[in-house]
Amino acid sequence: MAVPCSIPIKNEQDIVLARQVGRNLAKELGYGNIEQSRVATAISELARNIFLYAGEGSIVLEHIQKEGRVGLRITANDQGPGITDLRKAMEHGYSTSGGLGAGLPGVKRMMDEFAIDSMPGKGTEVVVTKWRS
Partner 1 sequence: MHRRELQEQYEKLLSNFLAGDREAQLYMAQQLSKSLVTQDIAPEDIVDFHIQALEKLVQMPEPVRESFQLLLEMMMEYGNTYRQHNVLRDKQKQLESEIDLAVVMQQTMLPQVLPEFEGVEFGLISVPAKKMSGDYYNILQENDVTFSVAIADIVGKGIPAALCMSMIKYGMDAQYGLTPATRLHHLNIVVEQNIDPSMFVTMLLGNYDTARHSFRYAVAGHEPGFFYRACEQRFYDLEGRGLVLGVLRDAQYPEYELNLEVGDMIVLMTDGVSERKVGMHYLNRQELTNLIQGELAHTAQEIAENLYRRLLLMTNYELPDDHTMIVIRRTK
What stretch of H or E contains 7?
A: strand 5-9
Query: Which residues inside 94-113 make contact with partner 1, applying CB under 8 A?
Result: 95, 105-106, 109-110
Shortest reach from residue 115's CB to partner 1, in Å: 19
132 within 8 A of 96, measured Cβ to Cβ: no
CA angle, residues 116, 5, 50, in degrees to nearest 5:
40
- Which residue number, 56 or 91, has a Cβ lying nearer to partner 1? 91
Query: Which residues inside 21-40 make contact with partner 1, applying CB under 8 A?
Result: 32-34, 37-38, 40
What residues contact 111, with CB distance under 8 A and at least 6 apart? Answer: 38, 42, 74, 128, 129, 130
Shortest reach from residue 105's CB to partner 1, in Å: 7
Three-state secondary-structure class, residue 54? helix
Shortest reach from residue 4's CB to partner 1, in Å: 25
- Kindly state whether residue 49 participates in binding partner 1, applying the rule CB under 8 A: no
- What is the SS3 string spanning 12-32? HHHHHHHHHHHHHHHHHCCCC
- Kindly state whether residue 118 participates in binding partner 1, applying the rule CB under 8 A: no
Query: Which residues inside 53-92 make contact with partner 1, applying CB under 8 A?
Result: 92
**Binding residues for partner 1, per CB under 8 A?**
32-34, 37-38, 40-41, 92-93, 95, 105-106, 109-110
